[in-house]
Structure 1
């Protein structure tokens, strides 16, 4: 390792000055007392002696201080290098206290950020494992309960047997649903899920999703409205099945958390020459501000109790986010508690679209 020679000389300058003044004064007094030189010769001798002693003292002090600091700083660098800190490993050793202070401060700040990040990840890992355990435990215990009841003697009753087997089947279906969603989100995260890009009409796709979810919305008397129903077809490029899944998940969430007799509205907005914005809004219960940053985490639920009664794997929004990001697009959310929520995402449109009539 080499030494960086950009140093502060203040300590050596002041120390050399003190030594030089004292030595010169002492030598002048001694010379005058012992040799009785004329005052002019003593003054000239003193100036020359002061200059030589100052230069010599400065060089010796500076060198010795640098070596003293270097040996100890090198030990610090070697100890820190054991932590595999690239900040220190890739830099030359410096004896400049200001530069060293900056480096140590930066190192401490980086390590503090790493520790905080590790704490956040560890908390997320614990919460995630707890959520996975809860999501899987509920249907597993349900299936186990029904099967145990049948084994204990209820199997002889055909009516009970059929009813319990159907309920056990629903529990298994829920388990499969959770596992499939986990498998999909894992593939999306690592990039193993191949998207099949094609050109399709987003207007037609939205209308198809409305048809699929019409009965679900009717149960809560929620109106599904498509603000752009009157416009011409809008052709976009993407994975049609995955975009349909995005629309279904967002609209199902809107219905799930919507008010009885509420409204879920979809709009298609001309964002730029190459992009459109698909916006899904509702007048439901809304989302509290502190929950918004975590909405797209796996298994994160705003309502820890009520949302589970509505079903779902708890992975819907996480899957939506990963699908949109796999398309290299953006997803946004705005919400005001008690008023409603709005989710929107961008998607690439074909240049031949006539979108001038869009808002």
Structure 2
């Protein structure tokens, strides 16, 4: 019952209960004085009746007012007191203090709203804790991934300074290695910068209409030399009767596809590396599947492959290089464009990466 209804009924009760109670008491007193004790209805007996009647009125009013006030105030003050305690506990950092209520009145709704706020604060605190842990891990991994090539560069520079590179051929090899390592560092810093902007949602997207069929056909043709050099090939499967026009940032989409192809080629152990791109349409989106014939990913690792710096095989990752941010950047770019991304894999057969983009009517 709402507080408003409760107060209205309380006021009505404070009028009706005394009237009914007084009527009952008058009948009882009159019956005792004038029937049971056969008193005279005039004189002293009437005076006693009026005195008792007056006393009864006072007692009834006091008792009725006291009980109703206690009941109504208790139903209001108790939840307010509980909310006050919860507010103090939460302000002190105790987010475990629950104030869940089964009441259906305004205070019950307020209490449950406060409880929802507590749960959101608790969730936010846990998210912040995880974010802080991820941030510390990110810093540690960045430090490691930057220190490794720097150590290599310093080693080769020291070799040159110490005269180890004492022939033109050795000098060239040392300089080529230094350049290649510095170039890898530049790529890592570029990926970290992009990842940071995407994470903070500060990367501007240039959304436009993109025909995915034409996009992938041109992209695969452009990548032909790279794929051939890596002993790989890519094929495109579409239903020509369908339309594959989506709203996307063309350059960011190129980054997505490039990262996925490079990731697949890097970790494929087959002599002939194959990538199949398939397009499907639904009512509101186009689904892109990029499938490789690599060694696949363990089921336990699959849910985490889009996390930053997650490595399913540390030794293999160390051998092949890479920042560990490629798939995480892919996920952030797709989500920034309103799409979804997920993966399926079978060990020994290959992995499929799926992502969606909003379809343009």
TM-score normalised by structure 2 residue count: 0.68
- Structure scoring higher RCO (CA < 8 A, sep ≥ 6) equals 1
Cross-structure match for 1:52: 61
Cross-structure match for 2:218: 204
| Contact in 2 for aligned 1:262/1:284 (Cα 8 Å) | no
Cross-structure match for 1:180: 190
RMSD: 4.5
Is 1:324 matched with 2:334? yes
Seen in structure 2, the aligned counterparts of structure 1 residues 347 and 71 have a Cα distance that, compared at 3 Å, is closer
Which ranges in structure 2 are unaligned for 5 or more consecutive residues?
11-28, 40-48, 95-104
Per the TM alignment, residue 39 of structure 1 is displaced from its structure 2 partner at its CA by 5.2
Match of 1:301, SS?
Answer: coil
TM-score normalised by structure 1 residue count: 0.69
Correspondences of 1:1-359 after superposition (within 5 Å): 5=3, 51-62=60-71, 65=74, 69=78, 72=81, 75-76=84-85, 79=88, 102=112, 105-154=115-164, 156-189=166-199, 190-195=201-206, 197=208, 201-202=214-215, 203-216=217-230, 218=231, 223-228=232-237, 236=245, 238-261=248-271, 263-272=273-282, 275-347=285-357
Cross-structure match for 1:26: none
Q: Provide the C-alpha distance between the structure 1 equivalents of 2:166 and 2:134, rounded to a whole number of angstroms.
A: 47
Q: Provide the C-alpha distance between the structure 1 equivalents of 2:59 and 2:119, rounded to a whole number of angstroms.
A: 47
Per the TM alignment, residue 210 of structure 1 is displaced from its structure 2 partner at its CA by 3.6
Per the TM alignment, residue 318 of structure 1 is displaced from its structure 2 partner at its CA by 2.2
Which ranges in structure 1 are unaligned for 5 or more consecutive residues?
13-30, 86-94, 352-359
Between stretches 325-334 and 244-253, larger displacement belongs to: 325-334
Per the TM alignment, residue 324 of structure 1 is displaced from its structure 2 partner at its CA by 2.8
* Alpha-carbon displacement from aligned partner over 1:229-260 (angstroms, at most 9, x marks no partner): 99699875644443333222212222222232
Match of 1:346, SS?
Answer: strand
Higher alpha-carbon Rg: 2
Match of 1:130, SS?
Answer: helix
Per the TM alignment, residue 110 of structure 1 is displaced from its structure 2 partner at its CA by 3.0
